[in-house]
Structure 1
Amino acid sequence: MRKPPLGAGQRNTTQRRLVWDAITALGPHCTADEITARIQADHPGFQRSTVYRALEAFTIAGALRPVRFGSGPTHYEIAGEDHQHAVCERCEGILHLEESLLKELEEHLQELHRFEPHRTEVLVIGICDACARRAERNRPPERVGRRTLEHVHHHSD
């Protein structure tokens, strides 16, 4: 078990270590239910309320960031550099956006409006390339749950 990143005065408990290990094993964008199920596979009876308390502690410590993708459940990702998300409304795949356009927007706000952005949140909802191709062939979307989509860059020459 890895030591979870906690703030001053927060206790490093076995339960919090189990939650942190589940988060790192599940990867980006896991939900409280997914974390609970992962832990309960080895520790039956582990309480969902314990997961929520640990998620709150990690969020307060700045180690975790809650993310909302539309109307679904809150997802949690390990805090790091800001990035935005595009979510496919058919397969629920997630694409991380780390585009310079967002930096330009923040610079515009600073320079023209004297507004200092601390964090930028953008959620783009649409249809990924794989689902668009499935639709062209009249196939239903393949619901695989939340997954990270691959970056595809199209260049015109």
Structure 2
Amino acid sequence: MNFSMITSSALVALFVSGIAGAEPKATNHWLLDAENDEERFKRVEQMFAGFSGAMAEVGDRYQHTYDAIKDGNYALASYHWDKLRGAIELGYLRRPGRAANAKGLFLETAWPELKEQLTSDDRQAIQQRFQQARSACLACHVAEEVPFMNDQPLFRHTADFK
């Protein structure tokens, strides 16, 4: 067959009719187009992944909390601090094995201490509590056997409030 003589519309017709291959129909319904609920749940699980996606949000919220404290905007810091907690909780919902350290080293200790301090308007005390929370983050990474997480700009940039 001389392919140079086939028009683009002929190629489309070949493809649509299935001669060019058995590619699945591509739609924007990635979930609804799954063959069954089991496949849908697999896709949802893949979409939400494990703890790493949650930690990406935690890192963003952590940075926003730091910036808000630095700016003296404690209401904004409190807002991001709340969202940070929610992201961690969703993370260990997906990876329950991470819950013990997340709770014991951070959510039940450092997190509520900073949350409470954010209502005080005591800049020095708030900054000190943030630094304690930062230390708890670092300790949790070590406990979870990912100490390399501590060696990144996020933690270098938030080491102090200068």
Q: TM-score under structure 1 normalisation? A: 0.24
Larger helix proportion of the pair: 2
Higher Rg of the two aligned structures:
2
